[in-house]
């Protein structure tokens, strides 16, 4: 493969990330994105710091899905890697135009339940608890990686009013 940039580790700033973002590039690949999460809010952005770098490296693309609920941090890492590529004299647009890495679909399952609750914030958890207290089966669906993250993002007053 043709040399695309000068190999090395580049320390860039990423919007939505509280620190330096070291990005290691070989002459033709993004090799490593080292996110230091020690100065970040626990639990809120953690999935970003593992999912986004691994997606970028596996697909060698900046056209990756952001993490729901942490879009600014996701885009910050993506743009930070783009900045590192620019620092080398490379063109990040090449990586932004590459196809998104394909995700494998999970195994389909047939489930039986009495109630499906969509959303694991305070209201969703209360609804699921009520179903269980009435000796019924419940399935709780949540898009965030952890329950009650909507509450952490300040959406609870709207849900409970």
| DSSP string across 34-84 | ----TTSPTTTSHHHHHHHHHHHHHHT-S--PPPTT-HHHHHHHHHHHHHH
Band (pLDDT 50/70/90 cuts) for residue 103 is confident
Q: Quote the pTM value.
A: 0.70
Mean pLDDT, rounded, for 22-43: 84
pLDDT at position 14 is 77
| Element counts in the chain: helices (H) and strands (E) | 6, 5
CB atoms near residue 12 (< 10 Å): 20
pLDDT at position 121 is 83
Inform me whether the pLDDT recorded for 10 exceeds 60.
yes
Residues 6+ positions from 50 with CB-CB distance below 8 Å: none
Inform me whether the pLDDT recorded for 12 exceeds 70.
yes
Band (pLDDT 50/70/90 cuts) for residue 146 is low
Mean pLDDT, rounded, for 49-62: 92
CB atoms near residue 95 (< 10 Å): 21
Inform me whether the pLDDT recorded for 46 exceeds 80.
no
Location of structure tokens 């997606």: 55
**Which of residues 96 and 148 earns the better pLDDT score?**
96
Inform me whether the pLDDT recorded for 161 exceeds 50.
no
Torsion, CA 145, CA 25, CA 16, CA 59, rounded to 10:
-40
Mean pLDDT, rounded, for 92-120: 89
Say how far apart CA 154 and CA 134 lie, in whole Å. Answer: 30
Contact 137, 113 (CB under 8 A): yes
State the burial class of residue 35 (Cβ atoms within 10 Å of its Cβ: 0-12, 13-18, 19+). Answer: buried
pLDDT at position 49 is 85
């Amino acid at each position: 493969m043709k040399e695309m940039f000068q190999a090395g580790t580049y320390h860039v700033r990423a919007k939505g990330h509280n620190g330096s973002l070291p990005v290691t590039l070989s002459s033709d690949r993004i090799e490593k994105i080292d996110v230091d999460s020690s100065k970040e809010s626990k639990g809120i952005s953690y999935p970003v710091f593992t999912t986004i770098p691994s997606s970028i490296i596996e697909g060698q693309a900046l056209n990756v899905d952001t993490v729901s609920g942490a879009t600014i941090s996701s885009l910050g890492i993506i743009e930070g890697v783009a900045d590192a590529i620019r620092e080398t004299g490379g063109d990040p647009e090449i990586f932004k135009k590459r196809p998104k890495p394909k995700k494998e679909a999970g195994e389909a399952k047939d489930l039986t339940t009495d109630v499906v609750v969509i959303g694991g914030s305070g209201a969703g958890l209360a609804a699921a608890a009520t179903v269980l207290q009435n000796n019924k089966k419940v399935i709780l669906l949540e898009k965030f990686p952890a329950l009650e993250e909507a509450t952490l993002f300040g959406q609870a007053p709207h849900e409970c009013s």
